[in-house]
Amino acid sequence: MTDPYQYYPTPEALSRKAWAMFKNQQFARVLEPSAGEGHLLRPGPYQYGKRLPIDCIEIDIRKHAVLRDEGYAVVGMDFLQFQSGSVYSHIIMNPPFAEGAKHVLKAWEILFDGEIVAILNAETVRNPFSKERQLLLRLIEQHGEVEFLQEMFAGEDAERKTPVDVALVWLKKTSTFEQDILGNILDDLRQDRREADDLVGEFQLPHELALPNAFIDNAVLMFNAAVEAARQGVVSEARASRYRSMLGKTLGELSGGGIGSEDDSSSDAVKRMLFKRYHDLKNRAWASILRSTQVTSRLSTTAQKRLESDFETVKSLEFTVPNIYGFLQGIIDQQGEIQLSMVCDVFDLITRYYSDNAVFYMGWKSNDKHRTLGMRIKTTRFILPGHGVSSYQNGLNWESERLLADFDKVFALLDGKTEAKVSLVSVFRQHFHALRVGQRIGGSYFDVRYYPGVGTIHFFPKSKILIDRMNRWVGRQRRWLPPVDTQAGQGFWQQFEQAERFDKAFHAEVKKQSKLEGRNYRFNPYWAINHGGASEREQGQRLLTQAMSSVLASRGIDPDSLLDNDQGCVRQLDWDGLPDSNLALAS
């Protein structure tokens, strides 16, 4: 099978030669435009025992995780579409040999001021038959040098061997920034009066802010305009700094009464400032995409935090239309996983604090060493503590409102809807006085009662089908239920369906089992399985499983009994998974 990306990991000896070729060893920021799995970067620069920051571009997305695990930032996928090269002081590269000239020319185009070292097929330089190769040769003659090496990919340290000779190319690009400053001083001074006259008019928004309607295109155009404005601002500040230094020191500085400001008009200072402002703008731009998609309005609080955690990786990418759509497509691809996490989050929130919120059943017998109990939320009522009044005494606090909003999002999801018609947040905001005096008020999916003295909310589900849907979804995910309903027998489904009827007997049996074991200390198995350490969880599961086994045996129920096709199975919901919710993204 051919390699479409011409991936040849750089041998260590060649990597060291490439890094040694840089004349300036003061690395501000380094870019590797075709990073592979980072072989070329391993001998990279260190300062005070710490590796300096290196950004990577790699077209094969399967290698991104490897690069990030090595501590590199992945900022793009296709280097030939990359534009943000002005922030780098050094570019080191081992591009695909078939496109070596094109990649070096691209690096030269985007670099502001700095050095390039490239590993190329020697024929790229020796046989300049194309216009690209001819231009590369002129750049080498005017701005660099080349060293030809033999059998660098044929040694013992080469993962993929090839007898090709290589050319190690070094180029130095020097910006005309300082010359431009000095050359334009007189022109600037002559423009002062004319520009001062122009400032008296009313400030107008620049024309480039009149953007088209498409949100993503608007965002990219706005970002590019902001980057260009920042670049101009940095240049203007550097010019002002140069003017200031030409005027000389203040009297206070001359007499030793003050410290002169540091000159920030050098090329290195400009690059550092450009890098800082560019990344600030890119962070803001990516955040606007994350916050503006309709996806986030449908995510629970915890799901948003998980997405934003992944966003730390995403925002390192260059802010372009293709990268934005790639990010949004990734959310769509993960839709099922995101929805599953949201359902499990709310399930765990309900079952974590009050043992009475859930009932237990004997879990599916899989290949696990120990069989565990499954849990299902009660269809009649559950209680959540810790919901205080806001500081204004006119509603719940912010955290409690977020929890209520999460409940509505998840149950709307289970119901195949985009949102609840009557949200719990609106119920508490509009009927807070009635709730405080004990009234029961209904939303789309729950009736609620609120007890402000103890800070508890009592939830009364309106749909047993939606509660059962949640229980089955979480049960399959946690392997408490079989992947396919027909894998379990009649006894299993009987005890699953009737778990609430067995709950009182189950708790009594737990107390009985505890006494039989002669416990002389307080041990809460319900707390242990949710909050305890590994040994406590195992101990709690064992005790609860023994109790459930006794309860089921006393009622003649065997969870492992085979399904009798003549008798049929206990009623099952016709439900194969979460309904489509069609998460809508910006288009």
3-state secondary structure of 8: coil
d(C-alpha 232, C-alpha 356), whole Å? 64
pTM over 0.85: no
User: Residue 169: in which H helix or E strand, if any?
Assistant: strand 166-173
List b or e across 1-17, with b for residues whose CB sees 16 or more CB atoms inside 10 angstroms: eeeeeebbbbbeebbeb
User: Which domains, from first to last, does the chain contain?
Assistant: 12-173 (3.40.50.150), 184-249+264-334 (no CATH), 335-481 (no CATH), 485-566 (no CATH)
Considering only CA atoms, which of 2, 38, 11, 12 is closest in space to residue 162?
11
What does the pLDDT read at residue 565? 37
For residue 19, the tally of other CB atoms under 10 A from its CB is 20
d(CA 403, CA 536): 29
pLDDT score recorded for residue 5? 57
Q: What is the pLDDT of residue 107?
A: 93
Three-state secondary structure along 203-246?
CCCCHHHCCCCCHHHHHHHHHHHHHHHHHHHHHHHHHHHHHHHH
pLDDT recorded at residue 97 = 87
Rounded Cα–Cα distance for residues 183 and 518 (Å) = 93
Angle 215-247/321-333 helices, nearest 10 degrees? 130
Q: What confidence score (pLDDT) does residue 424 get?
A: 94
Give me the pLDDT at residue 51, please. 77
3-state secondary structure of 108: helix
Q: Which of 236, 349, 235, 270 is nearest to 303 (CA)?
A: 349
Q: Length of the chain in residues, anyone?
A: 587
Rounded to whole angstroms, the Cα distance separating 421 from 543 reads: 43
Q: Which residues pair with 449 in a beta bridge?
A: 458
Residue labelled with tokens 């009149």: 210
**Stretches in the chain below the pLDDT threshold 70:** 1-6, 47-49, 155-160, 176-214, 256-267, 293-295, 366-371, 391, 393, 516-522, 562-587
pLDDT score, position 177? 53
pLDDT at 161: 72
Signed CA dihedral, 475, 480, 486, 489: sign only: negative
